[in-house]
Amino acid sequence: MKRIKLLVLDVDGTLTDGGVYMDGRGGEFKRFDIRDGMGIVRLRGAGVRTAFLSGRRSDATAQRARDLGVDLLFNGTGEKLPVFMGLLSDLELAAEEAAYMGDDVNDVECLHAAGLAFAPADAVSEAKASADFVTLNTGGRGAVREAADHILRLNMRCVVVGVSDPSGTKRP
C-alpha cells in the first residue's frame, strides 16, 4: 500500500453526529469533536493534506475548516465523486494515495474510488459495506480521530519498511 497523502472527509455524520441545531432565523449550530480536530492537526503535521467535502452548505463547516487550517473546503457540493476525482487530479495524486471517510449513500462512490475508505460506526449499511475500515467510534464522537491515527500508523509502516518517505522517493 502507498503512503496516504490526502484524507477527504464528509462533514455531517462524519465530523459531526449528524445533528443540526436550527434557531428558526436561518442560523444553525453543529457540534464538532475536539479529539477529531486534533487528529486532523496531527495529520497536517505529518504532511497529510485534509479536505472537507460536504453535500450541505454550512457556515459552521467553513468556520471549522478555518479553525483547523483545512484549506481544501468543498461546502455544499451536490455530486461528490467529480469533486473528489478533480481534487486528486489537481493535487496530482493517485487514488491509492487518498483516503475518504463518509457515512451515507452519497459517499459510497467516493469510498469506492479512494485507496483507503473509512466509515464511522453509525454509518448506513451501504457506507459500511463500501469501507475498508469501520471505526469503533461514531460520527462526531472520535471516528475521525480513529481514522487519522490509523493513517499515521500506516504511513509510519510505509516509511519503516521502505515504501516511501514523505517526499515520495524510494527509501533503501
Task: Label the pairing between strands 116-119 and 133-134.
Answer: parallel
The structural domains of the chain, with segments of one domain joined by +, span 6-160
So what's the pLDDT on residue 26? 84
So what's the pLDDT on residue 147? 97
So what's the pLDDT on residue 166? 45
Q: Which residue's C-alpha cell is 514523505?
A: 166
Q: CB under 8 Å to 68, separation ≥6 — which residues? A: 37, 40, 41, 44, 50
Task: Label the pairing between strands 72-75 and 21-22.
Answer: unpaired
Q: Categorise residue 92: left if φ over 0, alpha if ψ from -120 to 50, beta otherwise.
A: left
Q: CB under 8 Å to 32, separation ≥6 — which residues? A: 15, 16, 64, 140
Please state the φ and ψ torsions of residue 157, each to the nearest 5 degrees: -65, -40
User: Could you state, in chain order, the average pLDDT of each consecutive group of 10 residues for the chain (172 residues)?
Assistant: 91 93 88 96 95 93 95 92 97 96 97 97 97 96 97 82 45 35
Is domain 6-160 given the CATH code 2.40.128.130 in the classification?
A: no
So what's the pLDDT on residue 168? 43
So what's the pLDDT on residue 170? 37
Maximum C-alpha span of the chain: 60
So what's the pLDDT on residue 160? 52
So what's the pLDDT on residue 164? 47
